[in-house]
Structure 1
Amino acid sequence: MDPLSNEDTKMYFYENRLKTFEGWPFDEGCSCTPENMAKAGFIHTPSENGPDIAMCFFCLKELEGWEPEDDPEEEHKSHSSSCHFIALKKKIEELSVEEFFKLQKERQKFLINKSCNEAITKFEEAAKLRRADIIKTAVGEE
């Protein structure tokens, strides 16, 4: 994982986030247009059952169930108040190198936390299955 690779940093730029909103179910006459979603840091990450799933590229918060009147920036702030991207006072292009590195460090923390939480969930699921097997074996021996 190279935190400064092009793949890891390209979503900092509005145009790249906007490109992900192909097939987004809300367009003109709505607050949650692709343009407003991308400005608020979201990328479109649809699934078979959720065509309106959007995730902040920075804090990785996923939101779905969007309504036409939902304000993407306000929704982002209310669901992920610790996101450094939505709290930025400057455009990415205006950040100093030092400011960008600090921002990227915070993003890496979100990525690491998500990865650790996924590993813990997998471990807990495997432990439940193993426990059930042990109980079956113990009950079967009685």
Structure 2
Amino acid sequence: MEELFVEESFKMFIYENRLKTFKGWPFDEDCKCTPENMAKAGFIHTPSDNSPDVAMCVFCLKELEGWEPDDDPAKEHKSHSPSCHFISLKKRVEDLTVEEFIKLQLEKNICEVGKKYNEAVTKFREAASVKRAKIVKLATGEE
């Protein structure tokens, strides 16, 4: 069983570590969505081959792409994930009390469990759909 409080799980709570992920970020200067502003808003850069501007909040796991130079990362984050506890913080993670830090970790864990649950449900529904189609073919003699 994975430990709840391991050092590695907190690595991306720190602004500087989030900022380091923005190598190759397509927006650098003369815009609002600079790597610095993205990291301050809780995002890490998670590019894919066909989406070089994907960013994910390490706290609520919300992924956003299709960034425009004038997009404000904090406003976009709040708009797309209003319940994210990180975006509602009034201070830096480094300045949180132990109680606040643990609550932030708890909310992150809840988001992770929710995401895994949704992925499992989607996978199950896809498998069930395939199985149902096979059963219908067998029942109707189409195979």
TM-score for both structures, normalised by structure 1: 0.97
Give the drift of 1:3.
Answer: 2.6
RMSD: 1.2
Structure 1: gaps of 5 or more residues: none
1:89 aligns to what?
A: 90
Cα distance change, pair 81–141 in 1 and its aligned pair in 2 (3 A): closer
Percentage identity across paired residues of the two chains: 68
1:5 aligns with 2:6: yes
Give the drift of 1:4.
Answer: 1.4
Give the drift of 1:6.
Answer: 1.7
| In 2, Cα distance between equivalents of 1:19 and 1:127 | 41
Residues 92-132 of structure 1, C-alpha deviations (whole Å, 9 max, x = no match): 11111111111111111000000100000000000000000
Structure 2: gaps of 5 or more residues: none
Give the drift of 1:141.
Answer: 6.9
| In 2, Cα distance between equivalents of 1:81 and 1:120 | 24
Counterpart contact for 1:54–1:63, Cα < 8 Å: yes
SS in 2 for 1:43: strand
Counterpart contact for 1:3–1:9, Cα < 8 Å: no
SS in 2 for 1:137: helix
Residues 56-113 of structure 1, C-alpha deviations (whole Å, 9 max, x = no match): 0000000000000000000000000000001001111111111111111111100000
Bigger drift between 94-103 and 48-57 goes to: 94-103
Counterpart contact for 1:32–1:71, Cα < 8 Å: yes
1:120 aligns with 2:121: yes
| In 2, Cα distance between equivalents of 1:54 and 1:3 | 24
| In 1, Cα distance between equivalents of 2:78 and 2:131 | 40
Give the drift of 1:2.
Answer: 2.1
2:43 aligns to what?
A: 42
Counterparts of residues 1-142 of structure 1 (less than 5 Å): 1-140=2-141
TM-score for both structures, normalised by structure 2: 0.96
